[in-house]
Amino acid sequence: MTPSASIPRGSGIVHAALALGGFAIGTTEFATMSILPLFARDLHVDLPTGGRAISAYAIGVVVGAPLLAVGGARQSRRTMLIMLMGWVAIANLLSAAAPSFGWLLLFRFLSGLPHGAYFGLAALVAASLVEDDRRAMAVGRVMAGLTVATVVGVPAANLLAQLGGWRVSFVVVAALAVATVAAMWALVPRDRGRPDAAFLAELEALRSGQVWLTLGIGAIGFGGMFAIYTYLVPTLTEVTRAPALAVPFVLALFGVGTTLGNLLVPRLASRTPMPAAGALLLWAAVAAAIYPFAAQRLWSIAAIVVAIGLGGALGTLLQTRLMDVAGRAQVLAAALNHSAFNTANALGPWLGGLAISAGAGWASTGWVASGLALGGLAIWALALATDRRGAPPLVQQHDLQQA
């Protein structure tokens, strides 16, 4: 926000409006994975081929995050957020109307374009409204919209898809996006934009080795969660032999884990995001390694899915870390964090699909996930070893408002 923007005392209501957008985006991102068997059958493709729709969305995020963040650097953040959510609404309506799988791929790509820029801008706006030691909690509130989507939005979308067809899920997301536009119009503080913002100044983030290492941690280390989640539904039906009505319940448990992680971990690690990130990566590696064994029974897969979901807090921690190492290039760095995580969203399902196609079985995604988490942990160790400054200085609230 600019210095002229008002800083409301009740920042929580603004965070709630921003989180609603996260809820809409989280629902469309994760619900697509949960309804994969439905749209694949309806559009006459097999499951590994259908998984390309998930990768198309992820590629859209990777491409759109830096382009929209830099392209909109001079625009009012409030205006940009409203425009991005309008885009989400239109793209999801198009997805609902897709006449073939090829068109669905295109519309899912378009749906992913505003994702990273939205979360990047929303995180900066949220952090600018609170004191320095509450930044991680503010970002966590915004990201909680995404994680609550995995508790409520995704199971509800899966159930609606089973009852009324997969296209209904995307219509619901479009309605949520329109509601977010209205909430942000009423609640997000107005700002004048930054007419003097320079394109090259935003690119300063790309000169920092620590920025690239932080992005690498997310791109590799988070891929395992997506590898497991993408094929969770067929694992439940083919390996666990769970009844159809149990599927939304297990999906909701994954969301419970991610929500708890995003609410608790940032509160405990507000000023020490990097040590906490390392601990989460180790946790994710162990939980994923247990997954193939837990998949045999409903009670055990339900428990391990909660444990895997807890690792979702990694996104909030790395978002906070990027605020510390990106200097004045806050907008681009914040958006690139979501490019990194959606690189993981493309990489994880692809590697998981390769393992399944090779005959390793649906639950083999756990081994893929464990390896990716350990890969992220290796990059985390490199980032820690090469950070000669020790703990980077905090970006102050004033800097967030100016950036």
The residue among 106 and 387 whose pLDDT is bigger is 106
For position 249, what pLDDT does the model report? 87
For the residues of 282-300, what is the DSSP string, one character each? HHHHHHHHHHHHHTTSHHH
Mean pLDDT value of segment 388-402: 47
301 closest CA partner among 371, 353, 232: 232
Most distant CA pair in the chain, distance: 60
Q: Mean pLDDT over residues 361-383, rounded?
A: 95
pLDDT of residue 6: 41
Residue 313: per-residue pLDDT: 84
End-to-end C-alpha distance for the chain, whole angstroms: 8
Local structure of residue 393 (DSSP, 8 states): P
Q: How much of the chain exceeds pLDDT 70, in percent?
A: 85
Measured CA distances, 4 to 187, 201, 336, 398 (Å): 16, 21, 27, 12
Q: Is the pTM of this model over 0.85?
A: no
The better pLDDT of the pair 392, 45 is held by 45
Q: What is the pLDDT of residues 289-316, one digit of tens each?
A: 999 999 999 999 999 999 999 888 888 7
Lowest mean pLDDT among 72-81, 92-101, 384-393: 384-393
Query: What pLDDT sits at residue 97?
Result: 96
**Which of 26-35, 219-228, 235-244 shows the lowest per-residue confidence on average (mean pLDDT)?**
26-35
Please classify residue 158 by burial: count the beta carbons closer than 10 Å to its beta carbon, then call 0-12 exposed, 13-18 middle and 19+ buried: buried
pLDDT tens per residue across span 33-86: 888 889 999 999 988 788 889 888 988 988 888 888 777 666 788 889 999 999
Q: At residue 15, does pLDDT exceed 90?
A: no
Provide mean pLDDT across the span 163-169: 92
CATH 1.20.1250.20 matches 11-402: yes
Query: How high is the mean pLDDT of the chain?
Result: 83
Residue 197: exposure state from Cβ atoms within 10 A (0-12, 13-18, ≥19): middle
Query: Which residue type is seen at 205?
Result: A
Q: Which residue has the tokens 């939205």?
A: 118
Residue 199 banded pLDDT, cuts 50, 70, 90: low
Amino acid making up residue 336: L
d(CA 33, CA 146): 15
- pLDDT: is 67 or 324 the higher one? 67
Per-residue pLDDT tens over the stretch 242-266: 998 888 889 889 888 888 887 777 7
Please state the φ and ψ torsions of residue 296, each to the nearest 5 degrees: -75, -25
Q: Is residue 288 scored above 90 in pLDDT?
A: yes
Looking at residue 39, its pLDDT comes to 93
Asked if residue 200 has pLDDT above 70, the reply is no
**Strands of 152-260, DSSP E:** none
